[in-house]
Amino acid sequence: MWWLRSFLAFNICFCVSAEAAIPRPSLTSLENRDVRVLLGHFTELEISGTDLVLNNTVSIESSSVFSIHCNQAGISYGLNSKPEQRLQISSRGNFVNIQDKAYRGDIFIYIDHGNCAVVNKLNLEKYIAGLINKEMLASWPMEALRAQAVASRTYALHQMQYSSARNFDLESTTQDQVYDGASSETPKSNRAAESTQGMVLAWKHEPIKAFFHADCGGKTENPEAVWGEKYGYIRPVVCPYHQTSASQRHWNFHSSLYQLDQALHKVAGLLPRGFARLAHLESGPNNENARMNDLIISDSQGNTAVISANAFRNAVGNTHIKSTAFDLHANDNGVEFDGHGYGHGVGMCQIGAKAMADLGKSYREILQFYYPLAKLERLQ
């Protein structure tokens, strides 16, 4: 965990290039759908709960704890002698505990390349309540939490439109939104979800991909600059509100050329074929939003290449290179990176949302500021 432990949504997932070819359900058809959240992959895990039910047939009375093991043969648990390919676990006592974390709804376990793929299927609003405190601090103003609830609900609904071919809709990590189940719920997070229930950001009556990030550094970014995909409903905005967070406004990172070389070579296809050891790098021009577009790198053989700043950031580490709004200075001791902001910069600036709420702005005003082309609508 680092500062603002819940700011784990800085790198919301990469775009789905084939979205336009997939039929889109209406907002109405999405209203009552449960959301399926991938909790992770495990070779073994511990399950506990009260009055558990397995595959809707086997009941385990009172409190119980048992282990599940997964391999290529299937899922094994308890005294079950025949491995299964799929297991459903629910609880009449309301929660299923996985690795000591409580989850509402049902747990589904599938075999995926010999591992347990664990999916939590639950009510959308309960999902929202279980992630708010992982994306913002519980101590933040209620209007900021409400804005987060609407953005997260909208993002989830958008992703749910394109997941029918998978066993899950969203991941529980920064790949989508950080979700930790009922263990992270508080009365305040529940109130933020309940008081905005059904509210979404829409464009042409469809939920938008409501990106958000920690700190824009002064101006939000175009999604095409980050993922190479254009979204007609998102445009950059100048954001003065982020300046209230002095601790996040500037950052610094130092690395040796050897460490950078190791990080870049670990990413398949990032460097051109035959690229030798990294010997030099320099910044390319900034884009119109004062963020770096590309870096120019050279190897020990004199070969040069251009890589995108976002690809470089992802390779080196998003907690080291906190945004693409940085300058670099190379010397004999390595490379010094000086930057500001935290995250990809697209959509809502969470630090800015807090600052707006501190100034008395409503969640509607916050959302209108960061998503000016979207319309706030309620699921019918």
**Could you write out the DSSP letters of every residue in 322-342?**
--S-EEEEEETTEEEEEE--B
What are the CA-CA distances from residue 212 to residues 13, 172, 333, 344 (Å)? 11, 15, 36, 8
User: What pLDDT is attached to residue 57?
Assistant: 85
Residue that the structure tokens 């093991």 belong to: 69
| DSSP H or E run through 355 | helix 350-358
User: What pLDDT is attached to residue 262?
Assistant: 96
Beta-sheet pairing, 35-42 with 304-308: unpaired
User: Which of residues 61 and 326 earns the better pLDDT score?
Assistant: 326
* Mean pLDDT, the chain, whole residue set: 88
User: What pLDDT is attached to residue 77?
Assistant: 86
Q: How far apart are CA 243 and CA 319, in angstroms?
A: 20
User: What pLDDT is attached to residue 190?
Assistant: 96
Cβ pair 181, 101 in contact under 8 A: yes
Total residues belonging to the chain: 380
State the DSSP code for 303. -
Strands ordered across the beta sheet of 251-255: 251-255, 334-339, 326-331
Lowest mean pLDDT among 44-53, 73-82, 332-341: 73-82
Mean pLDDT, residues 252-272: 95
Helices (H) and strands (E) in the chain, counts: 11, 21
Mean pLDDT, residues 243-257: 77
User: What pLDDT is attached to residue 31?
Assistant: 56
Q: How far apart are CA 379 and CA 24, in angstroms?
A: 15
User: What pLDDT is attached to residue 250?
Assistant: 86
β-bridge mates for residue 84, sequence order: 75
| DSSP H or E run through 125 | helix 124-129
| DSSP H or E run through 311 | helix 309-316
User: What pLDDT is attached to residue 313?
Assistant: 96
Is pLDDT of 51 > 70?
yes
Highest mean pLDDT among 242-256, 306-320, 327-341: 306-320
User: What pLDDT is attached to residue 29?
Assistant: 57
